Amino acid sequence: MSKLDVAILVGSLRAGSYNLSVAKGLQAIAPEGMALEIILIAGLPLYNPDLDEGTPPAAWTAFRKAIAAKQAVIFVTPEYNRSLPAALKNALDVGSRPYGHSVWGGKPAAVISGSMGNIAGFGANHHLRQSLVFLDMPTLQQPEAYLAQVQNMLDDQGGLKPDTAKFLGSVLQKFAAFAAKTI
């Protein structure tokens, strides 16, 4: 594989999101041959099957096209109430419909969860993985990527601190190898 074209979806919609900073950090340390693009999910109307009859919302169509054009997906997410954020679940739903036209199937995935607490988004990480099984997205199992106290893994400018960059760089390397076998 000459180039791996990867979408990054960030579960947090907050402008100053630590997980968005992590996603931007991933872009900065991407290994050669890997292109990472953050695809925003904030503007997606909530999924309603009625809206797929006729002409679906333009935001859904653009999102589906953007994901369909990618070879793989990295999810970077916080945890809300021991699960994944509603905006991220909505993005999964929008991309999986209408039935039989999912843009997710067969795309390799990786999950990185980060939280300000010590649990590191464990619940969100595992709930997301449950959906990825149904969506037929082979998911990187090792190394697991849980970022506890994620706010301390970023420098004053929001960039990755060296130890965090080293760890996430190893995750990206493993993901590139995993995706190459999967695609």
And the tokens for 151?
A: 């706010």
Ordered per-residue pLDDT tens for the chain, 183 residues: 579 999 999 999 999 999 999 999 999 999 999 999 999 999 999 999 999 998 999 999 999 999 999 999 999 999 999 999 999 999 999 999 999 999 999 999 999 999 999 999 999 999 999 999 999 999 999 999 999 999 999 999 999 999 999 999 999 999 999 999 998
**Do you find a cis peptide bond into 98, omega within 30 degrees of 0?**
yes
**Token pair in block for residue 44:** 């997606």
Domains of the chain: 4-182 (3.40.50.360)
- pTM of the entire structure? 0.97
